[in-house]
Every structure is written in structure tokens, then in C-alpha cells.
Amino acid sequence: MPLDDEREVEYRVRQALSAQALHHPGLADVARRAGGDLLGYVTLAVENGKKLGDRRWRPPAPVEPWSGVRDATVPGNPAPQLAQSFADVNSMDEDCLTLNVTVPEAQGIGRPVMVWLHGGGGTNGSAAAYDAHRLAVTGDVVVVAPNFRLAVFGCFGYPGLADGGTFGLQDQQAVLRWVQREIAQFGGDPANVTLVGESYGALMIAAHLVSPASAGLFHRAILQSAFSVLGTTPAHAFIPGVPALPPRWSPVAELEQFGAVIAAERGWVTPDSDPESALAQLRRVPVTDLLQASESFIRPAFGGITLPESPSTAIPAGRFQRIPLMLGTTRDEARFFVGLFADLVGNPVTAESYPRLVAEAFGDSADQVAARYPLDGFPTPSLAWAQIATDRAWARPAWELGRVFAAHTDTWFYEFADRAAPPLVPLPGFPTGAQHSSALAYQFDFPGGTSLSAAQREFADRMNRYWTTFAGHGDPTRADLPDWPDVSTGHVQSLAPERIGGTDYVAEHNLDFWSRMP
């Protein structure tokens, strides 16, 4: 959305930023009319959402210009989604392509910019859940957090649908282009942009590293708990009961065929419709109906204009942006998935089911896996399986990705290791440890969310200084924090309140063993 000094464009603002830091005529007056000279974030539309339906499954379009004061005192709509056990948000509004900007109160220009891509499995999540004021103030950075299309609205494909399976990726690219055009108005430096994402957001960064349309739009990247960027995942290793998973990237021809099958099965199109009329029918299907198929469309597609090649082949071959990279995992990633989707639904892993899970996941190697992870070595069978899943489905793929990155560019690796971290999603009776998403409470505040102890709060400040130093300089090392060598030395930085320093990640997660396993 262009900010043009030749016409009056004003935004109503709130909470924790200095209007003067935005360097745009009229903003200070708007802030005063809103009740003060401080603001917390500004919500800015990056797509015209008024022509809904017809805009579905098309590239994001520029916002329609307006005159006068646009109310930006509350976050924009989340992308369409159904509430889940891990995300209690329902949204049916396709007018969702907005972004939030958080800037420190103190006046400044040329600040590093961090663009945050939220997680949520590709089906859920919104920018508004992440209050970035601590990150912005600690590191003196500008934080941009966008909403983007998810699931069936972001990764749907159908014969004749141009560049299907990449609409969420295209939305994020529109945000990055907006940052290049406009972030200087908010005190940010468009030549110093770091793309940061967690879980599904980190997976999308892998696509940006490969997509030609993203080249030059960001200059560093941080991938937090990315899931299986390069390879497949054995049965049950993601969630007990879930079969083996293919690579997280779908060939566009395969996606189109799958989309056609789903559309026919669900009656979204009339039989024997030609592609043009079928797409017209699909754009009239109610949001609620489309959302019933959301979990079937979470894999971005490759083979089109936006993502010509799968990141699983392009990255190992070195065909990606050679920029400084940071990546890592949490120490107990899979406890989140085992606790939430097995124990809490009354179907924990048991001594009886454990051998079956191992056999179905690892076939001829099952005996070796069972010997390496004996049940008597863990308090419960669920925790034994969670350790297998953490090591095989999270630590091994992340380590392989980090080593591939390090062969081509400067790369730093970390492990978030605070086993007393307050979980974002409570799992009563289940020892969560440093589970998936547990690091987020140290970077962001959440509405009605978790509280940190004094020691954890101090640690959060140190962790955020690492992140923002990397964003500013392409290297997390700083004199007031423990040294952090890059991963080419074999170093992994363990991050916890009681200790920050190197850890033997390979031994901790049995990665020499897993390198010989399926």
C-alpha cells in the first residue's frame, strides 16, 4: 500500500510506538486524536478484499486507494480457518490479507526489519496472536507480521488454475514487496530485512529461499522448528496414527489431479464441467464448505511460475539464495504432538502399542530402534515414542538441512532447551518439556498467555538479543553474550535460562544412529 506524500494518507494508531518514528506527514496528528503519541501496531491492507469470491485463488492485488483516515486500531481478520485443539480461532472472512507493524517508541531510522511468518500447521494461525513489542524494543528493530492465505485457500490446485498451490506464498511475497516500498516510512531499512518463521512459517521460508520471485526481497532468514524440508517422515513419527508423510512439497500436476478429485467428490463442481466453468463454480463454494477439506491442502506446489523447483531438490543442489541463515529446533519437539493428539484424547502410547508403532514406522530396522529406545529407559511409553519422534522427525531433518545450508552459506544452529518452559497449549498431566512452539513465549506475548519467571524473562531478553543481532548484522555473536560459532564447526548453541553454550546435538539426538535408519 503506497504511502505518498502528495496525498493525505493517515492511519489511526495505538499503544507502544512513537508516531514521529514513522516519518510520515499527518501520523503524529492522528496519534494525538487517537488519545496519545504512542502506538502499538498498525494494521495495513495489502490486498483489495472487497471483490471476494472472484479474488479467490488469484495473486494478491494492490489495495484500493482511500481518502481520509483509515481505522487501523485493531488487527485485521485472520485467514479463513476452523478452530483446532491447538488454535481456538474460527474465521470465515476471505478479506484477510493484512499486516501488523511494530516499531520501538524511540525515534529512529534505518532499523533492521524482521518479517514474521506464523506457524499453525498450514491450516491455522494469525499475525494478531503475536505481540512483538518485546522483540522490537529489545533489538531496536521493526517487526512486520502478515496474515496470509492458508490451507485450501493457499495451497489449492485444479486443472486450469494458474500457479495453483502457491497463493499463500504469493501473499508473503506481496508483503516483502510492500516492505521494500514502504518500510522506510516506519523507520525500517528495506536493505536489511530478515525473514523469520516458526513451524509452517519456517517451511515457507525454505520456499522463499528457492523461489525466483522472492530473490532480493530479504537478506537473512531464521527457520525455527521447520518440519521435514528435505525428505519424508515415517509413519507415526509426526503424530501417532498418522501414516508416512511424503515431502512437504507437491508437484503441481499431482495437486491439480488431487484438487479435481476432491472437488468432484464433494460436489463443488458439476460433472463434465470444462475448466473455466469449474473454476467459476469453485469460486462460489461457501467458505465453510471449503474449510472442511483444509487439511488436504497444506503442501505448497512446485513446477509453476512462483516455485519452479521443489526445495527438497533445489536446496541440496545449492540452488537457493546464499544469505546468512539461522535455524534450530526445541529439545523435545514431539512431546507437543504426542501429548496433544495421543494422551489428551485418551489414546496414549502403551507398552502394547509401542512395538507395533516401531514396526510400522521402521520395518526391518524396528528391532534396532526398539533397542536404542527401550521402554524401561523412559517414564512412560508415550515419552519413549515422543523421543523417537523428536529425534527422527525433527532433529535429524533439521541437522541435515543445517549441514546442507552450511555447505553454501554462513549458517548458525541452535536448540531451545528450557524444559521448564510454559507451554502455549497446556497438556495437563503430560510433561511438556521444551516442546514444539515452547520458544515462542520468550519472543512474543500472547493474549491471555503464559507468564515467565524472572529467570526466564532475563533469558528471553538474551535470546531476543541473539535473534535481533543476527537480523542486524547476519551473525548472532555479540560481546555481552556467550560466543556462538557457526555450524560449520559442528557447534550447536543450547539456549536455556540455566545455561547458554555448546551442546553435543548429534549425541543428544542419536543422529549417528538415525543416519543409518529409514
* Alpha helices (H) in 94-198, listed in sequence order: 133-139, 151-154, 167-182
Q: How far is CA 351 from CA 262, 375, 380, 493, in A?
A: 38, 8, 8, 35
Q: How many helices (H) and strands (E) does the chain have?
A: 18, 14
Q: How far is CA 117 from CA 94, 148, 157, in A?
A: 18, 9, 22
CB-based contact 224:130 (threshold 8 Å)? no
Residues designated as active site: 199
The closest of 270, 269, 295, 298 to 282, measured between CA atoms, is: 269
What are phi and psi for residue 257, nearest 5 degrees? -65, -45
What kind and span of H or E run contains 111?
strand 111-117
Residue corresponding to grid cell 519472543: 443
- The percent of the chain in helix, strand and coil, each rounded to the nearest 5, is 35, 15, 50
* Alpha helices (H) in 149-286, listed in sequence order: 151-154, 167-182, 200-210, 252-265, 275-282
For residues 10 and 24, give the distance between their C-alpha atoms in angstroms, rounded to a whole number.
Answer: 9
